[in-house]
Structure 1
């Protein structure tokens, strides 16, 4: 099992504030090779221990909930750290025009069930986090979805083989796009596996 964030990993907000800017630059550099676009509006941000460590600290720093907030943040973000046999991604639909975004998302319900990663001939179907229903009964989707991609050992070996093609796809009737995973993204993600 991959390392989880514990209370022992949480800095005081005073100490975090002192390194916050430096940490933001460090995580931005890390994230540069952990994201990829799929079509014109969707971006997958592949999460890690480091991205979730910073996210928890940012929530604590901004919301100032103190000790009472820590357990909630750990519960919310630890599940998004890859467990050594999966990739975990935040899928975001990034549309700046609010009216277009509203119309677009109104037809995108269930999109989280249509995302997959193809490794050679194997297809790994995304499993959405079930903490919150991100599609409504009337067919609307959220702008943010949290997805797990569980791999078998053979799929991990194929993913780590640079000669095997890796493609990320969204196969929703209103948004059908696929993209080859860039080499630099793939290289960064190989470290997520045990």
Structure 2
């Protein structure tokens, strides 16, 4: 798999019988790969940074479970290709994970528009997240979705700072009901740097 590739195609996927045989090992390897791409923020939010590899795995798994063949593949590629970083961005699935359904509904009811309040800070420079525009992630009643898909788009100077390895990088949310920041670890930065061309 080439990091320069920015779109998943059918030829990137294993045939279903080979995937089924290798699935356990593939999933184990993926857990290890994703370890440094998971960043918790505050009590409920977790960012899962996506890549070509994680999106191939997601498409492969959906096809394995639903067995929809080429017809399903078209839909999966439409859904997941936008989350493959394009070489000048980082993409993430942000999940608000609250086990209790009542607490979850209460929380999500208070954080409408939260997808507009996410940022990354590289040294002193703020890069605001851009929500994926496939669907509205906040309902008309002001309730946020528990799953958000976001992009952090960088210019070349910001990418160079990010890749330098000696710049403080933070991720945060500045919503009035959920304001938290956390610093990325060296391992986070190293793993995410691979997404830039």
> What is the TM-score of this pair, normalised by structure 2?
0.96
Q: Which position in structure 1 is the counterpart of 2:142?
A: 139
- Show CA shifts across 1:65-101 (max 9, x none): 1111111111111111110000001100011111111
Q: Is residue 2:159 matched to residue 1:156?
A: yes
Q: Which position in structure 2 is the counterpart of 1:46?
A: 49
Q: Which position in structure 1 is the counterpart of 2:73?
A: 70
Separation of aligned partners in 1, 2:190 and 2:12: 27
Q: Which position in structure 1 is the counterpart of 2:21?
A: 18
Q: Alpha carbon RMSD of aligned pairs, Å?
A: 1.0
Separation of aligned partners in 2, 1:35 and 1:109: 23
- Which of residues 91, 96, 100 is equivalent to 1:93? 96
Separation of aligned partners in 2, 1:164 and 1:52: 28
- Show CA shifts across 1:105-134 (max 9, x none): 111111111000000111111000111111
Moved more, 7-16 or 41-50: 7-16
- Deviant stretches of 4+, over 6 Å: none
Separation of aligned partners in 2, 1:103 and 1:185: 31
Q: Count how many residue pairs are aligned between Structure 1 and Structure 2.
A: 194
> Unmatched 5+ residue regions in structure 2?
none
Q: Is residue 2:40 matched to residue 1:37?
A: yes
Q: Is residue 2:165 matched to residue 1:165?
A: no
> What is the TM-score of this pair, normalised by structure 1?
0.97
- Which of residues 186, 189, 193 is equivalent to 2:192? 189
